[in-house]
Each structure stands twice: as structure tokens, then as C-alpha cells.
Structure 1
Amino acid sequence: MKHILFIVTSASVTGTGKHPAGYEFSEIADPYYEFINKGYTVDFASILGGIPPHVGYNSSEKISKKFIESNGFKRLNFSHKLDDVNIDAYDAIFFPGGLGLMTDMVDNPLVKEIIKITYENEKVIGAVCHGPAALLNVKLSDEKNLLKGKKINSFTKAEEEKDKHILGDVIPFMLDEELIKQGAIFSHTLPFESYVINDGNIITGQNPASASRIAIEMIKSLE
């Protein structure tokens, strides 16, 4: 049996405009069922522990509605504090997106250390939408930047503009541009279409439409 740790934002506001933030609901719900349907165990940790804030719940999305009524959602709302987690117990880590993550994970030393350990132990790292923001500023044991030369994608500038995510007011930076600055080989598809890149043990997805596919790709790597 494989064990997956979802690492979830605790930030409830974003930008200078203090807009509501948190994790994007479907980006936990959709991958969660891909993993548990394969017989995997999913645990949840967040920066502060407890109930992580969320946005984007849509009761017309069957999987999201199923998840919000599930024991998995109850466990998510008793998330472990990330400080208390033994990362060695997990075969993979996954960063669901949501704007909150761009606030509390970009420079968090513990998040950087967990990603470094997971990568250097050749375990699987997944991140979707704004989730790849967690991969910024990770220095490996040889002092190289994790992202240098890695094939990566994330939510794009075109998608931010379609969502009217104004720089500063809503988002602190353009994620695709920052990933490229740190050496990532960035690729993408049309806005809001599913797109996933698998580069060894780092797997990234562009947007909410990519959330199930990224879990499927992580499962392939774990198998």
C-alpha cells in the first residue's frame, strides 16, 4: 500500500486586496478519489494544522459533492500540523493549488526541506495549478536550485488574466514567470484545458482540469 501526503495551504486571504483564498476544492477532491480508488492511503497536513480554508466548492460537481460528505473531508478538517509530520512515512507528497499557497509556502523553510528530502530520496512530488509555487526556492544538498532544467507547468499568466487575478491586488507574482526565472523548462496548453508534465519524480499540472490526471501520473510513477 502506498501512502500519500497532501500538503495544504493555511492562508485564507491573498494579495494586497485581502481576497478570500485557501485550497481549490476540486484540486483535493479529484485526486483524492484517484488515490483511494487505487487502494492508497491519503493523509492531510497543513501549515497550521486543523481546518484549512478552501475556495471554489461547487455542489454541481459530483466528485466535489461526494468528497464534502465523506470521511476524507472530515479528516482534512483535522489536518496534521506540518511540523508534526514524519515525511519518511510517505511515498509521495502532493500540493493542491489555490491562491493561499502563494502566500504561505513560497518561502516556508519546512516546506522547502520536505521537498528537498522527498526529491533526494527519489520519491514522487506532485503539484497542480498554483501548487508548483511550493517548488520555488528549493535548494538541494549540492546547492543547486531544484527547478533548474526541470520540465514544469502551472497556472499560466493567460489563465490569471482570464480570472481577473490582478498582480499585487490578488496575486503576489506571476507563477509561470517565477518558475522560468528559477530555471524551469516551462510548457503549457490553452487556458483551462487539462495538461500534465511528468519529469522523473516531479509531476505538475496546469489547472483544476488537470487535477485527476496528475494523480493518475503519480500513480504510474509509484507503481
Structure 2
Amino acid sequence: MEPNRPKRSAVAASRRAAALVALLVPFALGGATTSCASSPSYRIELPARPETREAGTILFVLTAAAEQSLRGGGKRATGYFLNEFYEPYRALEDAGYHVAVATPGGRPAVVDPESLDEKYWSSPAELERARHERVSLRELAVPLSLAEARARQEEFQGLVVPGGQGVMVDLLDDPDLQALLIAFDANDRPVGLVCHAPALLTRFPEGQRPFAGSRVTSVSA
């Protein structure tokens, strides 16, 4: 059983819930798909950032795995799902936030080629915009290492881990990512885990699980 944790104040809980809703609404209702196998049917946009509010920085953690071993032998190409990165990235950028990217070892993030299929996008034009921005976004080509992101964690106001089966290859048991999840939970900073990424919450030892006592949603097995 999990040890008793101190109760957060109602104000802190309310702020946390509001932040999570702001971060996760685009995922849950179609700004980005919550499943790696369905196309978006709704689009929700975050409200514009007030001019007087200083922009924060949101950390995106992406897989750098390019292939996945299959049960029974063989391998398949993998990586992160582009729509699950691009939609929250674009919504947050449009709302005035800065974006940082981190991967294991600071290796370039790898796109799952399956996510380039038009069935995952609301239109071919949107897919082309996403492909163009991916190529031009320096943070994707030269990301932070997860160790660097962990050392600089106080700089980030939120954490997003897009899905794709690559998450299961090089992020599932990464100690730096686990430390980031624990720290963000302890400091009431919002976390968005998309598609495969909620599996990260299953890998903590007894008594060290972040978000214990919280309700989470996930794709069913």
C-alpha cells in the first residue's frame, strides 16, 4: 500500500486541476489524439496568453528509439507519434509558451513513420505543416539530455510526454524521467502523458509512485 501523503490545500488542488485541464484538453478532445490509432475529430485551442503575463517553458520528453523488438523475433520501425507532439506543441506555442525538448542521452528525437499516415491528421495540409515545422525546429534536432533536463527542472512550468511505441523502448525505465515525474508531482506542476506514456506511471517501486491517490485516464490495454 502507498504511505499516507499530506493533503494538498483546496486552492493548490484547484490550481493543479485547472493547469492539467489547460494542458490536457487538446489531447483529450482532439487537438491531439489520445490513441495512437485514431484520428482527431474535435479541435480545442488554448486561450491566448495575456500580454502582461510572462511566458513559461514547457518541457517535452521524446523517445529517441528508432526500432522496437517484436515478440517472436524481428523488429519494427518506431519513434514518437508526430501528431501527439505537434498538436500540443502548436497549442502551447500559440498560447505564448516556450518549448524545450529532452531525450535519453540528448539524441535526436525519432518520428514513428506510421504517424505520417494522413489518417491520423485532420487534413493533408496540417500534416505538411507539421512535417515542415519538425524539420525546422532546432529543439528536435539538438535536444537536451534527460539528465540535463533533470538538473534544470525548475525552469519548466509543465511536462508533456507524447506517445508512440518508442516510449516503451527507451523511456519506460529511464531514471531521469522518473525523477522528473516525481518532482513535477511534488511541486504541483502539470504533466501531460499521451497515449503510451501513462505506462510510465506503472514502473515506480512501492512507496515512490507519483500521483498516488490521483485519478488518471489512459488508453486501455
Supply the RMSD in Å over aligned alpha carbons.
Answer: 2.1
Q: Would the aligned equivalents of 2:58 and 2:99 in 1 still touch at CA under 8 Å?
A: yes
2:59 counterpart SS class: strand
Deviations 1:94-146 (A, max 9, x none): 00001011121221111111110111011111111011122222359xx3422
5+ long unaligned stretches in structure 2: 1-54
Partner of 2:65: 11
1:31 counterpart SS class: helix
Question: Are the structure 2 counterparts of residues 104 and 37 from structure 1 closer, same or farther at C-alpha, using a change threshold of 3 Å?
Answer: same
Partner of 1:87: 153
Partner of 2:202: 136
Partner of 1:57: 116
Partner of 2:78: 21
For 1:63 and 1:72, the matched residues in 2 are separated by 15
1:48 aligns with 2:111: no
The number of residue pairs the alignment matches comes to 155
5+ long unaligned stretches in structure 1: 158-223
Q: Which amino acid is 1:117 matched to?
A: A
1:151 aligns with 2:215: yes
Partner of 1:37: 94
For 1:72 and 1:134, the matched residues in 2 are separated by 29
Partner of 2:171: 105
Partner of 1:215: none
Which of the two has greater helix per residue? 2
1:122 aligns with 2:176: no
For 2:64 and 2:165, the matched residues in 1 are separated by 10
1:149 counterpart SS class: coil
For 1:109 and 1:34, the matched residues in 2 are separated by 29
1:54 counterpart SS class: coil
1:73 to 128, 132, 137: 137
Q: TM-score, normalised by structure 2?
A: 0.63
How far 1:26 sits from its partner (Å)?
0.6
1:4 counterpart SS class: strand
Deviations 1:158-182 (A, max 9, x none): xxxxxxxxxxxxxxxxxxxxxxxxx
Which of the two has greater strand per residue? 1
